[in-house]
C-alpha cells in the first residue's frame, strides 16, 4: 500500500504538477487540455490516473495538487474516489487536495446527490468545485482556477501558501457549525 506523500521529492525547477484522479478518461483529458492551454509563468505538468495507489515503478515528479473528479451521474466514480482517498497521506489535505464534481447541470441524470459530494468535501476539509466540461464556457474558467490553485500549491506565488489558500476558500462556505 504505497501512500502518496506531498513533499517526498525535490521539486523540478519552475514546474508544477497536478494529478487528476477520476474514472472518466475523456473528461480528464478535456480538463487537462484546457489547463495546458492556459498561459502561465510556470511549466505545468498534468498527470491523469484512474485511481490510487499509483504504480510505483514510474518515475514521476513531485505532485503539488491532487484533484479528485467525481461524476455526479455515476455512483461508481464516487466509490472509486472514496477508495483512492485512503491512499493519500494526511498532510496532503492541508490545501493540496481538491474535489471537482461534474455533471451537476443535468439534474435528471444525477444518481449521486449534490449534498453527498458537499459532505465529502467537508469531511476532508477541502475545497469543492463544480464543472461541466462539455460546455466550453464552463471549462475555461475552471481550468484557470485550477492553474492558479496549482501555482499556489507549488509555491510559485510568493506570500501565499496552500494552507492560506485553503482558509481563504473556506470562508464563503458553511458558516454554521454542522456535525463535527
Binding footprint of other proteins on the chain (CB under 8 A): 3, 5, 7-10, 13-14, 41, 82, 85-91, 93-94, 122-125, 156, 158-159, 161, 163-164, 166-167, 180
Q: Which CB sits closer to other proteins, 32 or 166?
A: 166
Residue 147: Cβ within 10 Å count:
22
Q: Are 103 and 110 in contact (CB under 8 A)?
A: yes
User: For residue 175, what is the enclosing H or E element?
Assistant: none
Give whichever of 132 and 169 is closer to other proteins, judged by the CB atom: 169
Query: In whole angstroms, what is the distance from residue 134 CA to residue 27 CA?
Result: 8
Q: How far is the CB of 116 from other proteins (least distance, A)?
A: 12
CB closer to other proteins, 14 vs 111:
14
Min dist CB 125 to other proteins, Å, is 5
Q: 43 near 35, Cβ under 8 Å?
A: no
- For residue 133, the minimal CB distance to other proteins (Å) is 28
Amino acid at each position: 500500500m504505497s501512500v502518496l506523500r506531498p513533499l517526498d521529492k525535490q521539486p523540478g525547477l519552475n514546474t508544477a504538477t497536478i494529478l487528476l484522479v477520476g474514472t472518466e478518461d475523456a473528461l480528464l483529458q478535456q480538463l487537462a487540455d484546457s489547463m495546458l492551454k492556459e498561459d502561465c509563468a510556470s511549466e505545468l505538468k498534468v498527470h491523469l490516473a484512474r485511481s490510487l495507489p499509483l504504480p510505483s515503478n514510474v518515475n514521476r515528479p513531485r505532485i503539488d495538487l491532487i484533484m479528485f473528479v467525481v461524476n455526479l451521474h455515476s455512483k461508481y466514480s464516487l466509490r472509486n474516489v472514496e477508495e483512492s482517498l485512503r491512499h493519500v497521506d494526511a498532510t496532503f489535505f492541508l490545501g493540496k487536495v481538491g474535489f471537482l464534481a461534474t455533471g451537476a447541470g443535468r439534474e435528471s441524470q444525477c444518481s449521486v446527490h449534490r449534498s453527498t459530494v458537499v459532505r465529502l468535501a467537508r469531511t476532508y476539509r477541502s475545497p469543492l468545485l463544480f464543472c461541466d466540461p462539455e460546455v466550453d464556457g464552463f471549462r475555461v474558467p475552471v481550468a484557470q482556477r485550477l492553474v492558479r490553485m496549482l501555482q499556489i500549491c507549488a509555491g510559485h506565488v510568493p506570500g501565499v501558501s496552500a494552507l492560506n489558500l485553503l482558509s481563504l476558500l473556506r470562508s464563503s462556505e458553511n458558516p454554521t457549525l454542522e456535525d463535527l
